[in-house]
Amino acid sequence: MGPLARLVQKEFRQIFRDPLMVRLIFLMPIIQLFVLGHAVSLDLKGVRVSVLDPVPGPLSRRLSQAVWETETFTPGPPVATPSQAEDLLVQGRTDLVLHFPVDLERRMRQGNGVLGINLDGRNSAQAGQALAQVQAVLNLEAARLASGWKGQAPRPGGVTLQPLYLYNPELVSRYQMVPAITILLITIISAMLTGMSVVREKELGTLEQLLVSPLTSRQLVLGKTIPLAILSFGELAVATLAAILVFRLPLEGSVLLLSGAVFLYLLVTLGGGLLASTVSSTQQQAIFTVWFFLVFSILLSGFFFPVANMPQALRWLTWMNPMRFIIEIVRGIYLKGSGPADLALPLGMLAAHGVGVFSLALWRFRKRVA
Amino acid sequence: MTPVLDIRSLARAWDGKPALRDLSLTLQAGGMLGLIGPDGAGKTTAMRMACGLLRPDGGEVRVLGLDVQRDGAAIRPLIGYMPQRFSLYPDLSVDENLRFFSELHGLSRDQRQQRRERLLAFSRLEPFTRRRAGALSGGMKQKLALACTLIHEPRLLILDEPTTGVDPVSRQEFWDLLGDLARGGMALWVSTPYMDEAERCGHIQLLHQGQVIAEGRPAELSASFPRRILRLEGADPQAVRQLVQAFAGVVLHRFGHSLHLVCDPDQEEGLRLALRQANLEAKPQPPTLEDAFFHAVAHGSLAA
């Protein structure tokens, strides 16, 4: 075995010898995924539904009764005006408000009944599920009603809900969160641990020993990054299995494409960790440097807030953020089954970022320490 | 014979401030050269440049005739460098540390085994092979670091303050090991802030603010101290202080029960006479390396 293989072997030996490291790498992500996953997949029960019905009639009464009779929903306080509906939602005294139009029956007979529904979007996943269930109940009941109107309408009974979310209008769902969390975990592992492990050798003085050994600086960089790349792929495998088995996410696209994209992304994070190590002389500095960039990357990645909703200036800024592209890619692969052709732009951007950052890191590393 | 280490006019500045000015030296096989100076004198800067870890602003370093800047790869097997801080992995055992460094240098299994035995015996670390390096005492850590540095049998050993923070007994033991290495034909370049350690080197250079202000064999250097030292036993410091006030430039130091009076050679007779009148008998005290060093630092050289 050459010196590179020896260095990789030593890195693994050190990682697995440190019980904190092992827990950090393997246990924490699993806990995080489960906690976050559990938080967003709670079953709905006892959701309070209020009704805003300016002209109460048998039709609206029957529809709201149908909703209230299910296990999921219970009656909320009555609402008289739209502004009162908003107040109750903001104060948390009700969870959603059904808004019946005055001419509901006429519209339903024409086949295009539209109800307004106000929801609190802060708990996005719950709101999304509630909306879907109200819709299902109303459709069922409307169809029953319509069976008594035969012959009177060509497409009778259609009821559509027109949701109005307060806050979080884009409604991020668990399906969008879990793939993105996977990326976040990989980012932390690869960038932070690379930075820390290089700076640790600086602190110990062993880096200079390695530099005067026959190891070339390229071998040194590879020896430091390969073990963490391998661990990151392990992390990806665990998180992907958890996403499919525990969170029932449909993995529509190709695992191979997912791995390829993650490889490109790892060039960015491993390179970023190396760059952090060249400007840091203690592990704390390295962690802080990585953390600083991490926060901006997350906020500008579409992880929480869709890029499309950002102000123009920030939207331009996201082009400099590789995390934006990898999140776009994993969401595409998971949820839409996107292939390489659909993802050509983000893949290309990610490749450019990866090659750029890693080359820069290699060059800086050589210059700084050698 | 080609010197093992040959440094000519080496210079380096940090942010425009010179850290090392015009350092030149030659070191032959079996020689031990000491680089002595206070913290910040430029010792580490000089040694890092000699190892090729730092690019010099001027001058050149040759190891067995090879240029460190140009032939870096060829030089690496020839030098062992022990940086100022402990250079080993605290979470790996003594054996694992030795093994990692021997593998890094591409030694065969037989070579590894053979050198491991020899270095463990040499450093007296055999009973601790399975212990984690982090759990070793300061002196043992230092010996392990030395063993790791020696595993590829370098011709030149560069040690940057190897015993800083180590207890006196372990320091003694460590320097005995270095003496063995030099007798075995290795060339050693050692930096230290300790004068007792400097005395053990064949040749020393006093480095101050990046410049060599004096150099030579330790005995030569202490002998070239340009002033005289008189020793008084059991005298009353207050009375002596009063007495020497008449002599400009005489310095009084206390060493336990004895007093050292440092004076210029032309003051010696008068001072002795004055002391004798006060019933005090002063004996000449041979200067030490430390006396020479402090004088050189204060006056910029060992000239009178």
Supply the CATH number for residue B102's domain. Answer: 3.40.50.300
Eight-state DSSP code of residue A44: P
Which chain B residues are closer than 8 Å to A211 by Cβ? 53
pLDDT at A144 over 60: yes
- The range of the structural domain enclosing residue B63 comes to 5-222
Q: Which of A204, A210, A214 sits opposite B86 (nearest CB)?
A: A204
Q: In this predicted structure, what is the pLDDT of residue A260?
A: 96
pLDDT at A290 over 50: yes
pLDDT at B112 over 70: yes
Please give, one letter per residue, the 3-state secondary structure of chain B. CCCCEEEEEEEEEECCEEEEEEEEEEECCCCEEEEECCCCCCHHHHHHHHCCCCCCCEEEEEECCEECCCCHHHHHHHEEEECCCCCCCCCCEHHHHHHHHHHHCCCCHHHHHHHHHHHHHHHCCHHHCCCEHHHCCHHHHHHHHHHHHHCCCCCEEEEECCCCCCCHHHHHHHHHHHHHHHHCCCEEEEEECCHHHHCCCCEEEEEECCEEEEEECHHHHHHCCCCEEEEEECCCHHHHHHHHCCCCCCEEEEECCEEEEEECHHHHHHHHHHHHHCCCCCEECCCCHHHHHHHHHHHCCCCC
Q: Are residues B201 and B261 in the same domain?
A: no
Q: By the 8 A CB rule, do B253 and B262 touch?
A: yes
Task: Give the model confidence (pLDDT) of A194-250 as tens digits.
Answer: 999 999 998 888 888 888 888 888 899 999 999 999 999 998 998 888 888 877 777
Q: State how far the Cα of A125 lies from the Cα of A130, in Å rounded to an integer.
A: 9
Contact B52 A212 (CB under 8 A): yes
Residue A353: alpha-carbon gap to chain centroid: 21
Which chain A residues are closer than 8 Å to B146 by Cβ? none
Nearest to B287 by CA among B216, B224, B198, B194: B224
Q: Which of A6, A204, A370 sits opposite B104 (nearest CB)?
A: A6
Per-residue confidence band for A69, with pLDDT thresholds at 50, 70 and 90: confident
Q: Is B181 left (phi over 0), alpha (psi -120 to 50) or beta?
A: alpha
Please give the average per-residue pLDDT across A257-272, as a whole number: 96
Q: Which of B89, B103, B148 sits opposite A14 (nearest CB)?
A: B89
Q: In this predicted structure, what is the pLDDT of residue B8?
A: 95
- Asked which of B178, B193, B222 is the last residue of a domain, the reply is B222
Q: In this predicted structure, what is the pLDDT of residue A168?
A: 41
Which chain B residues are closer than 8 Å to A17 by Cβ? 91-92
Query: Taking CA atoms, what residue in B is nearest to A220?
Result: B104
Q: By the 8 A CB rule, do B133 and B94 touch?
A: yes
> For position B267, which CATH number holds?
3.30.70.2750
* B220 or A157, higher pLDDT: B220
Q: In this predicted structure, what is the pLDDT of residue B13?
A: 93
Q: Are residues B236 and B134 in the same domain?
A: no
Q: Best mutation site among A196, A209, A224 for testing chain B: the one with the most B CBs within 10 Å?
A: A209
Q: Are residues B127 and B81 in the same domain?
A: yes
- The three-point CA angle A108-A165-A32 to 5° equals 130
Contact B149 A370 (CB under 8 A): no
pLDDT at A51 over 90: no
Per-residue confidence band for A109, with pLDDT thresholds at 50, 70 and 90: confident
Task: Give the model confidence (pLDDT) of A82-107 as tens digits.
Answer: 888 888 877 778 888 888 887 777 77
* A217 or A116, higher pLDDT: A217
Nearest to B84 by CA among A197, A203, A217, A10: A203
Contact B85 A205 (CB under 8 A): yes
The tokens describing A120, both together, are 């609190």
Contact B53 A212 (CB under 8 A): yes
What percent of chain B is predicted at pLDDT more than 90? Answer: 48
Contact B83 A205 (CB under 8 A): yes
Q: What is the mean pLDDT of chain A?
A: 81
- Helix, strand, or coil (residue A85): helix
Per-residue confidence band for A357, with pLDDT thresholds at 50, 70 and 90: very high
Task: Give the model confidence (pLDDT) of A314-351 as tens digits.
Answer: 889 999 999 999 999 998 888 778 889 889 999 999 99
Q: Which of B87, B103, B106 sits opposite A209 (nearest CB)?
A: B87
The tokens describing A43, both together, are 């079953």
* A130 or A220, higher pLDDT: A220
Q: What is the mean pLDDT of chain B?
A: 89
B302 within some domain = no
Q: In this predicted structure, what is the pLDDT of residue A155?
A: 47
Which chain A residues are closer than 8 Å to B83 by Cβ? 205, 208-209
Query: Taking CA atoms, what residue in A is nearest to B74?
Result: A214
Query: Taking CA atoms, what residue in A is nearest to B54?
Result: A370
Q: State how far the Cα of B190 lies from the Cα of B162, in Å rounded to an integer.
A: 8
Residue A237: alpha-carbon gap to chain centroid: 17
B156 within some domain = yes
pLDDT at B45 over 80: yes
Q: Are residues B240 and B154 in the same domain?
A: no
Contact B106 A3 (CB under 8 A): yes
Q: State how far the Cα of A333 lies from the Cα of A338, in Å rounded to an integer.
A: 5
B303 within some domain = no
Q: Are residues B201 and B279 in the same domain?
A: no
Task: Give the model confidence (pLDDT) of B139-155 as tens digits.
Answer: 888 889 999 999 999 99
Contact A205 B86 (CB under 8 A): yes
Q: Are residues B49 and B134 in the same domain?
A: yes
Per-residue confidence band for A172, with pLDDT thresholds at 50, 70 and 90: very low
B89 within some domain = yes
Which chain A residues are closer than 8 Å to B90 by Cβ? 204
Contact B89 A206 (CB under 8 A): yes
Q: Are residues B99 and B198 in the same domain?
A: yes
pLDDT at A26 over 60: yes
- Cβ-proximal residues to B302 (8 Å cutoff; 6+ apart), any chain: B213, B214, B221, B224, B225, B226, B292, B295, B296
Per-residue confidence band for A149, with pLDDT thresholds at 50, 70 and 90: low
Q: In this predicted structure, what is the pLDDT of residue A171?
A: 44
Query: Taking CA atoms, what residue in B is nearest to A212?
Result: B76
Q: In this predicted structure, what is the pLDDT of residue B150?
A: 92
Q: In this predicted structure, what is the pLDDT of residue A42?
A: 47
Q: In this predicted structure, what is the pLDDT of residue A332?
A: 86
Per-residue confidence band for B267, with pLDDT thresholds at 50, 70 and 90: confident
Q: State how far the Cα of B81 lies from the Cα of B62, in Å rounded to an integer.
A: 15
- The three-point CA angle B279-B281-B284 to 5° equals 160
Contact A7 B83 (CB under 8 A): no
Contact B96 A204 (CB under 8 A): no
B247 within some domain = yes
B116 within some domain = yes
> What residue ranges define each of the domains in chain A, with the CATH number in brackets?
3-39+173-369 (no CATH), 47-166 (3.40.1710.10)
Q: Are residues B235 and B207 in the same domain?
A: no
> What phi and psi values does residue A125 have, to the nearest 5 degrees?
-65, -45
Contact A209 B73 (CB under 8 A): no
Q: Are residues B138 and B265 in the same domain?
A: no
B278 within some domain = yes
Query: Taking CA atoms, what residue in B is nearest to A215?
Result: B104
Query: Taking CA atoms, what residue in B is nearest to A12?
Result: B92
Q: Which long-range contacts (CB under 8 A, 24 or more apart) does A289-296 make?
A: A289/A195, A290/A191, A290/A192, A290/A195, A291/A192, A294/A187, A294/A188, A294/A191, A296/A321
Please give, one letter per residue, the 3-state secondary structure of B39-86. CCCCHHHHHHHHCCCCCCCEEEEEECCEECCCCHHHHHHHEEEECCCC
Interface of B with A (CB under 8 A): 48, 51-53, 73, 76-77, 79-81, 83-92, 96, 100-101, 103-106, 148-149
Q: Which of B48, B79, B92 sits opposite A13 (nearest CB)?
A: B92
Q: Are residues B13 and B132 in the same domain?
A: yes
- Helix, strand, or coil (residue A230): helix
Q: Which of B76, B85, B90 sits opposite A212 (nearest CB)?
A: B76
Q: Are residues B98 and B185 in the same domain?
A: yes
Total structural domains in chain B?
2
Q: Are residues B248 and B148 in the same domain?
A: no
Nearest to A135 by CA among A114, A113, A161, A168: A161
Interface of A with B (CB under 8 A): 1-3, 6-7, 10, 13-14, 17-18, 203-206, 208-216, 369-370
Q: In this predicted structure, what is the pLDDT of residue A257?
A: 95
pLDDT at B236 over 60: yes
B299 within some domain = no
| A–B CB contacts, 8 A cutoff, strictly below | 71
Q: In this predicted structure, what is the pLDDT of residue A167?
A: 47
Contact A3 B104 (CB under 8 A): yes
